[in-house]
Amino acid sequence: MKTPVMPDPTTIDRTERSPQATDSTSGDELEFRHQPETRGRMGSLPGVRILGCGSYVPDHVVSNEDLAALGCDSEWIVRRTGILERRHATADQATSDLCYEAAVRCLADASVSVDQVDLILVATITPDHFTPSTACHLQKRLGAFAPAMDLGAACAGFVYALATGAQFVAAGNAKRVLIVGADLMSRTIDPNDKKTYPLFGDGAGAVLIGPDDSRCPDEGGVDQTDADGPSGILSYQLGSEGCGGEMLCIPAGGTRLPLTEEARREGLQYMKMDGRNVFKWAVRVFDESAKDVLAAAQVNAEELALVIMHQANQRIIDSAVSDLGVPKDRVFVNLDRYGNTSGASIPLAMDEALRAGRIKRGDYVLLCGFGSGLAWGTALLRF
């Protein structure tokens, strides 16, 4: 059995922006200075299992050809991103509607009733309202008797929520935690921006987590734990580089800049993205955090059964996994069908991978979400 070796938990993240770094809006490259041992907070939560998965995407398919009327070049989209189509919610659908559909499928998959759910977490940056939380909307619609809250870490949100929910389970304060990642990104992108509008789609994915009961002795007193080690989150890293936050930002609509008519005319209610620098940052942060997480758990990249990255861009995925040395057939991709669904992308991909038989009991699976904040979350799971 391998025992994860974790760094000193008191270690702080001293990632800094270099004095030479420039504002991303100028188009100049941002540089970051690291102290290698302090890239992010490390942790381990073995014995917390994924008990079920579910996902949902809207019925409305928007192909690259459908975007031609907006002046978007279909070949450019495929060449630069790998996206062929995406899903858009209808006008009467909100984020909580997608959450509900994914949650119902997840609970059915786990054979768990709503009244057994102890906590509901929703990772989203496109809530139904500023308040109440989307998680509370979901709790009401499910008929659950459980506390509920949202987490806003964008494309890293699901891994943040997974780590948060697993803490409750590991501490014995919850036995069944429902975690949903969902976003309606089509509502955040300027339809007139030909470079960003084709990238995003809408969707939701859900997982139910709980303690690994196989770690307890059966009726004959035999320990059922797998001989190769426990299941659960063997190691994880959460980190942020807020100095690069302007690279992915919706300027207006909050307390810093209310959504006035003037701001609306300038399109400041839509996401602004410095794609070139985000690309470089994403490849770098995946490479560094993945190696940190694998090293902490004493697992080699060759032992991974599957890598599920945030589905942002095919070129990012290809560049990142090539640096890690993972074969392409061990990298799950559904970006071509859904585009970038932000907080939904990892649980949506995980659900599809499980249903396709790409993950089985005892497999090592590496998750990595990265995006606005700038924030990232990387976790090594053993199913």
Q: Which of 72, 99, 155, 368 is catalytic?
A: 155
Buried b (16+ CB within 10 A) or exposed e, 9-37: eeeebebeeeeebeebeeeeebebeeeee
Give the Å distances, CA to CA, from 187 to 88, 97, 250, 270, 299: 9, 15, 12, 8, 40
238 near 159, Cβ under 8 Å? Answer: yes
Of 72, 88, 340, 368, catalytic: 340
Query: Is 310 annotated in the active site?
Result: yes
Fill in the amino acid letter for 7.
P
For residues 124 and 32, what is the distance between their CA atoms, to the nearest angstrom? 27
Among 157, 156, 167, 182, CA closest to 118: 167
Residue 374, burial from CB neighbour count under 10 angstroms (0-12, 13-18, 19+): buried
| N residues, the chain | 383
Is 340 an annotated catalytic residue?
yes
Q: Could you say which of 106, 136, 277, 310 is catalytic?
A: 310
Which residues are designated catalytic?
A: 155, 310, 340
